[in-house]
């Protein structure tokens, strides 16, 4: 059983008047470097004190642009600890791999820390929190791909003699030859933290790494997650050593239960109410559908939802009390959860330096020795093979140039599509927006009843991200659309697109003007205007999305989004109703994340469109203001502009009859 001191290095003195999120958009005018100077030195002193008090290790972690944890470079702190300590393990939990390009920098810096410390590094690797993808502009739909591929490269850099070449989907290096290499062989231990993602558990189990449970959840969530992790290990053919599982939890030891609460509670609420807001933001495509459903199951179990001390105690969000109380609770939960590593947060929120040190001392003197004695034989013997089940094959054979496992899995795109057809007459291809409207929507059916054969392909990714394998940009998407048209026998249709479908229609028309008879763009992103820019959408709560998309908030989809925002129904809470929308957001983010809903080259190419064009816009579109539509109409040689009053971003849904009448009149003219 191992005991670590974990530190966040929070900003302890946010202005009382500030009530916004602590992540991404928290104004950096609130940061006082003079306070930061004191904080950093105090926090490093606390970590150094951990060695003198007899802890087994210390933990640092990485976060960016926030007040919650001021450690954008945990490797800098770890290098200080490597030089100024002699015994404790130094766990960097961890480097957010997708944020590093090239990731060989992680391999090199971790190797430096391992060599400086004499082989005491624990190498933590993480996908990175959702907020980081907003701060860095990294496309979240590639989060897992980047993590797996960069992980492969780092492990190869540590274990393969260089120089060698690495060929991945996202990174290609002709010469990988890191100096230095780690002291520990074949490489330092790897810890992977997780908040319940099933993919993370399976990844850790397959490679026999250690899984660290991220805190701030109800104890029931930890019960489920560690059970899922053990099941994942058993599917790989072994029973994990307890030291393959770690529990991260805030701990406070006082002279009595009452005194502990009195001393700890103000700092806890500063943490919950001032530092947690914004941490749970999940960008589209960042996690899989099944992991998203698992997240929805945990609605209401996150510490931020706690309103009273009774909530804190019931959920065991923090272990607080006298030495006896803290010992009894930890002893019980260590056994129940089956963990062999305890990661204690002894400084939390606004807790001052001396109080944090005293908390560590009380734990080290009155709790730690008893836990060590009780769990002396708990873990450390290694994973045990299961006789009744074959071990999973986790090895990846390589020779010559290394090809990442992740890139091999995504190497071949599937050519498949789902096409709806209705009506008779001239061909009209309808490209839908991220609400997936199509045949069955009255306005689209009206087109099919007006002398047109409506052909509505389902855009790739809108039924699941696996459909986007091999499709990374609009060039790929336009070739996909060419394949659909050729296979469906459609030579030169009228092309009608709404929202994201309008963007694709414009991109297609500038590349293949000879394949478009007429063009209709409805509230399409893709270009910028000096007078207006797309509103922040991906990071908005569902309720805000409804306000951006619809002028009439009684519209059924607006109501669904508002219901999802408060998880007010069993259907929404289970994810059944909102999953199609989440899939659509993820598919849209693949192309619109960065640059944000803009193709910087599109506007200069709009002059290539060689057909009559109609640009239709909702006058009250709060997501893409009408100025963007007028800009489209000005840049396309033969374009007219039509504005629909009392309508938001989706005229086919909100003003369907009027929209269809305008479109039909244009196509017939």
Q: How many CB atoms lie within 10 A of CB 426?
A: 15
More confidently predicted of 167 and 416 = 167
- Mean per-residue pLDDT, 477-493: 96
Q: What is the pLDDT of residue 459?
A: 95
More confidently predicted of 463 and 517 = 517
Q: What is the pLDDT of residue 568?
A: 40
- Mean per-residue pLDDT, 515-533: 93
Q: Which two tokens stand for residue 299?
A: 């609605």
- Mean per-residue pLDDT, 35-47: 98
Would you place residue 577 in the very low, low, confident or very high pLDDT band (cuts 50, 70, 90)? low
Q: Is the peptide bond before 94 cis (omega within 30 degrees of 0)?
A: yes
Would you place residue 291 in the very low, low, confident or very high pLDDT band (cuts 50, 70, 90)? confident
Scan for tokens 């030291």, then name that residue. Answer: 243
Closest CA to 146 of 98, 100, 104: 98
Q: What is the pLDDT of residue 565?
A: 62
Would you place residue 642 in the very low, low, confident or very high pLDDT band (cuts 50, 70, 90)? very high
Lowest mean pLDDT among 7-21, 36-50, 488-502, 568-582: 568-582
Query: Which residues make up the CATH 3.20.20.30 domain(s) of the chain?
Result: 2-385
Query: Which residues make up the CATH 3.40.50.1820 domain(s) of the chain?
Result: 419-535+592-668
3-state helix, strand, coil in the chain (%, to 5): 45, 15, 40
Q: What is the pLDDT of residue 379?
A: 81
C-alpha 16/C-alpha 545 separation (Å) is 29
Give the residues across from 642 on adjacent strands.
616
Would you place residue 566 in the very low, low, confident or very high pLDDT band (cuts 50, 70, 90)? low
pLDDT at 610 over 80: yes
Q: Which two tokens stand for residue 383?
A: 């994973």
In 378-528, which residue ranges form alpha helices assigned H by DSSP? 405-409, 442-448, 474-487, 500-511
Q: Which two tokens stand for residue 185?
A: 């062989």
pTM of the model: 0.91
Q: Which two tokens stand for residue 480?
A: 């996909």
Class of domain 2-385: alpha beta
- Residue-by-residue DSSP string for 52-83: HTT-SEEEE----SBSS---S-HHHHHHHHHH
pLDDT at 493 over 80: yes
Q: What is the pLDDT of residue 396?
A: 37
Lowest mean pLDDT among 77-91, 251-265, 392-406: 392-406
Q: How far apart, in Å, are the Cα atoms of 5 and each of 218, 325, 428? A: 21, 19, 64
pLDDT at 622 over 50: yes
Would you place residue 553 in the very low, low, confident or very high pLDDT band (cuts 50, 70, 90)? very high
pLDDT (tens digit per residue) in 153-210: 999 999 999 999 999 999 999 999 999 999 999 999 999 999 888 889 999 999 999 9
Q: What is the pLDDT of residue 561?
A: 84
Length of the chain: 669
C-alpha 59/C-alpha 6 separation (Å) is 4
pLDDT at 583 over 90: no
Q: How many CB atoms lie within 10 A of CB 206?
A: 15
In 118-252, which residue ranges form alpha helices assigned H by DSSP? 130-136, 143-159, 198-207, 219-235
Would you place residue 414 in the very low, low, confident or very high pLDDT band (cuts 50, 70, 90)? very low
- Mean per-residue pLDDT, 96-118: 97
Q: What is the pLDDT of residue 576?
A: 60
In contact, 495 and 478? CB cutoff 8 Å: no
Q: What is the pLDDT of residue 309?
A: 97
Please give the CATH topology (third level) of the domain spanning 419-535+592-668. Answer: Rossmann fold (3.40.50)
Report the chain's mean pLDDT, rounded to a whole number.
91
More confidently predicted of 403 and 354 = 354
- Mean per-residue pLDDT, 607-630: 97
C-alpha 255/C-alpha 534 separation (Å) is 55
Q: How many CB atoms lie within 10 A of CB 61?
A: 25
Would you place residue 575 in the very low, low, confident or very high pLDDT band (cuts 50, 70, 90)? low
Q: What is the pLDDT of residue 429?
A: 98
Region for residue 121 given its phi and psi (left: phi exceeds 0; alpha: psi -120 to 50; beta: otherwise): beta
The strand pair at 121-126 and 518-522 is best described as unpaired
- Residue-by-residue DSSP string for 611-661: S-EEEEEETT-SSS-HHHHHHHHHHSTTEEEEEETT--S-HHHHSHHHHHH
Would you place residue 550 in the very low, low, confident or very high pLDDT band (cuts 50, 70, 90)? very high
More confidently predicted of 541 and 248 = 248
What is the crossing angle of helices 353-366 and 323-337, to 10°?
70
C-alpha 612/C-alpha 617 separation (Å) is 17
State whether residue 253 is helix, strand or coil.
strand
C-alpha 220/C-alpha 539 separation (Å) is 28
- Mean per-residue pLDDT, 497-509: 98
Would you place residue 477 in the very low, low, confident or very high pLDDT band (cuts 50, 70, 90)? very high
C-alpha 127/C-alpha 124 separation (Å) is 10
The strand pair at 172-176 and 245-254 is best described as unpaired
pLDDT at 18 over 80: yes
Query: Residue 602's Cα: distance from chain center in Å?
Result: 28
Q: How far apart, in Å, are the Cα atoms of 354 and each of 33, 39, 212, 275, 348? A: 21, 12, 28, 21, 13
Closest CA to 528 of 593, 597, 585: 597
């Amino acid at each position: 059983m191992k005991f670590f001191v974990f530190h966040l290095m929070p900003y302890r003195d946010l202005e009382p008047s500030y009530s916004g999120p602590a992540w991404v958009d928290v104004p950096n005018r609130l940061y006082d470097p003079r306070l930061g100077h004191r904080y950093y030195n105090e926090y490093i002193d606390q970590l150094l004190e951990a060695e003198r008090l007899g802890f087994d290790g210390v933990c640092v972690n990485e976060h960016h642009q926030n007040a919650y944890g001021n450690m954008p470079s945990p490797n800098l702190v770890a290098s200080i600890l490597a030089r100024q300590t002699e015994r404790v393990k130094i766990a960097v939990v961890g480097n957010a791999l997708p944020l590093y390009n090239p990731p060989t920098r992680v391999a090199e810096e971790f190797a430096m820390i391992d060599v400086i410390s004499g082989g005491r590094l624990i190498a933590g690797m993480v996908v990175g929190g959702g907020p980081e993808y907003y701060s860095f502009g990294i496309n979240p739909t590639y989060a897992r791909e980047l993590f797996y591929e960069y992980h492969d490269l780092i492990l190869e850099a540590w274990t393969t003699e260089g120089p060698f070449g690495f060929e991945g989907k996202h990174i290609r290096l002709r010469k990988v030859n890191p100096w230095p290499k780690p002291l520990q062989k074949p490489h330092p231990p790897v810890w992977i933290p997780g908040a319940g993602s099933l993919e993370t558990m399976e990844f850790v189990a397959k490679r026999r790494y250690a899984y660290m449970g991220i805190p701030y959840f109800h104890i029931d969530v930890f019960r489920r997650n560690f059970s899922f992790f053990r099941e994942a290990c058993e599917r790989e053919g072994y029973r994990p050593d307890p030291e393959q599982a770690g529990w991260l939890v805030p701990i406070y030891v006082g002279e009595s239960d009452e005194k502990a609460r009195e001393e700890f509670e103000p700092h806890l609420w500063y943490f919950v109410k001032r530092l947690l807001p914004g941490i749970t933001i999940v960008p589209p495509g960042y996690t899989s559908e099944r992991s998203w459903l698992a997240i929805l199951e945990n609605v209401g179990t996150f510490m931020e939802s706690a309103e009273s001390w009774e909530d804190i105690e019931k959920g065991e969000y923090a272990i607080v009390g006298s030495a006896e109380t803290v010992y009894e609770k930890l002893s019980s939960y260590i056994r129940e959860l089956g963990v062999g590593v305890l990661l204690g947060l002894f400084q939390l929120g606004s807790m001052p330096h001396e109080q944090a040190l005293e908390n560590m001392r009380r734990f080290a003197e009155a709790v730690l020795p008893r836990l060590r004695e009780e769990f002396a034989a708990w873990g450390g013997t290694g994973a045990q093979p299961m006789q009744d089940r074959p071990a999973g094959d986790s090895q990846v054979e390589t020779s010559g140039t290394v090809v990442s496992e992740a890139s091999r899995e995504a190497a071949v795109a599937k050519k498949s599509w789902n096409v709806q057809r209705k009506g008779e007459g001239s061909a009209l291809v309808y490209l839908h927006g991220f609400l997936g409207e199509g045949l069955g929507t009255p306005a689209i059916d009206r087109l099919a009843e007006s002398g047109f054969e409506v052909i509505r392909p389902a855009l790739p990714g809108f039924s699941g991200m696996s459909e986007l394998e091999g499709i990374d940009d609009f060039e790929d998407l336009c070739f996909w659309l060419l394949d659909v048209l050729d296979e469906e026998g459609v030579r030169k249709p009228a092309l009608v697109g709404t929202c994201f479908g309008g963007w694709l229609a414009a991109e297609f028309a500038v590349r293949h003007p000879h394949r478009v008879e007429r063009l209709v763009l409805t509230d399409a992103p893709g270009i910028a205007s000096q007078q207006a820019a797309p509103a922040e959408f991906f990071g908005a709560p569902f309720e805000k999305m409804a306000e951006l998309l619809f002028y009439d908030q009684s519209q059924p989809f607006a109501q669904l989004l508002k219901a999802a925002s408060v998880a007010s129904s069993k259907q929404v809470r289970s994810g059944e109703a909102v999953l199609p929308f989440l899939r659509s957001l993820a598919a849209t983010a693949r192309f619109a994340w960065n640059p944000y809903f803009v193709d910087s080259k599109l506007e200069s190419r709009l002059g290539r469109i060689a057909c009559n064009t109609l640009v239709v816009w909702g006058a009250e579109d709060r997501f893409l203001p009408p100025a963007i539509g007028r800009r489209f109409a000005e840049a396309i040689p033969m374009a007219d502009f039509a504005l629909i009053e009392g309508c938001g971003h989706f005229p086919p849904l909100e003003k369907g009859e009027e929209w269809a009448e305008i479109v039909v009149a244009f196509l017939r003219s």
